[in-house]
Chains A and B, each alone.
Chain A
Amino acid sequence: MLTEKKQWEAPELEMFDISK
């Protein structure tokens, strides 16, 4: 059975400095 392909989103890395 063929499954529909998902829409592509460019991979991105979000970063936060959690350092109280």
Chain B
Amino acid sequence: MTIKAIHQDGCYVQEEGYVVSDMNGDKVMMSIQSGKYYNLGRTGGRIWELLSNGNTLMGIVAVLSTEYSVDQEKCSSQVEQFLNTLLKEGLIKHKED
């Protein structure tokens, strides 16, 4: 069994096929196929937007640290954990060059 984990320098992009909407500032999405509904929250929603054309962990953290009052180390650690969850759920995929 392969455990999926993001690579620090890997580029990731949104997986297609989800119905995405904004609900009071939270980003919510639904998969008709799997019957699952997801709430990414506000920060998660911003990360989702940054993954629209493909992005790296470093790239996402660089943008977020200019928009939010958070230190880079904490931001990087929490974003990495979040990306791992998205990858495990099949919401994002590794972007091939």
Contacts and interface: CB of A to CB of B under 8 A. Distances in A.
Q: Do A and B bind each other?
A: yes
Q: Nearest 10 CB-CB pairs, A to B?
A: A19-B35, A8-B70, A11-B44, A14-B39, A11-B82, A5-B69, A11-B43, A8-B68, A16-B37, A18-B37
Interface of B: 30, 35-44, 47, 66-70, 74-75, 78-79, 82, 85-86, 89, 91
Contacts, number: 62
Given A5-B67, A6-B67, A13-B86, 17 more contacts: A5-B69, A6-B69, A8-B68, A8-B74, A12-B44, A12-B82, A13-B39, A13-B40, A13-B44, A13-B82, A13-B85, A13-B89, A14-B38, A15-B36, A15-B37, A15-B89, A16-B37
Contacts of A18: 30, 35-37
Q: Which of A7, A8, A9 has the most CB of B within 10 A?
A: A8
